[in-house]
Amino acid sequence: MTKVTLTVNGRSLSGEAEGRTLLSSFLREELGLTGTHVGCDTSQCGACVVHVDGLAVKSCTVLAQDVDGASVTTIEGMANADGSLATIQQAFQDHHGLQCGFCTPGMVMSAAALLKDNPKPTEAEVRHHLEGNICRCTGYHNIVKAVMAASGQDVSGVGIAAE
């Protein structure tokens, strides 16, 4: 066991990790931050996405010891300081961009990374960017809508025939 120290959501936290301890396991089991989920073991699904030193990564495919000393942002660190939802989180609720909620933390973290690099993405860019995040519930329509809305674009009427 080796001591690993991370700055997680602005707080310095330490724990013990084996060589094989993944960042996702370290966050969930050692630090008790269970918002980061694990949905596959082949680095496909993206439920485990967190930001390490500002970059979105799949925490199930990063060794905890390999990022010792890094700054990590997880879904638990996304809300505003007063506890209210951040713009991207609020957009997911407003546009029903989640159902079972399991892929949601990774989706939100991945979408947040996109908007940082590309503040006004097109629909095609959003869809392409989310290729590393699998959702089985929503059919993606409302996720894409939420990300577009969070970027300040008008999404009224998208795909709703009755309106």
**Out of 96, 116, 119, 122, which residue is the one contacting another protein (CB under 8 A)?**
96
Q: Output the six-digit token pair for 43.
A: 């680095």
| Residue 159 found at the interface with another protein (CB under 8 A) | yes
Quote the least distance from Cβ 129 to another protein, whole Å. Answer: 6
Tell me the two tokens of residue 131. 């290729």
Q: Among residues 55 and 152, whose Cβ is nearest to another protein?
A: 55
Return the residues of window 5-44 that contact another protein according to CB under 8 A: 18-20, 22, 28-29, 33-44
Q: Considering the rule CB under 8 A, would residue 134 count as an interface residue with another protein?
A: yes
The strand pairing partners of 71, in sequence order, are 7
Out of 7, 13, 79, 153, name the contact with another protein by CB under 8 A. 79
Note the Cα 43 to chain centre separation in Å. Answer: 14
Residue 129 CB coordination number (10 Å): 20
State how far the Cα of 11 lies from the Cα of 25, in Å rounded to an integer: 18
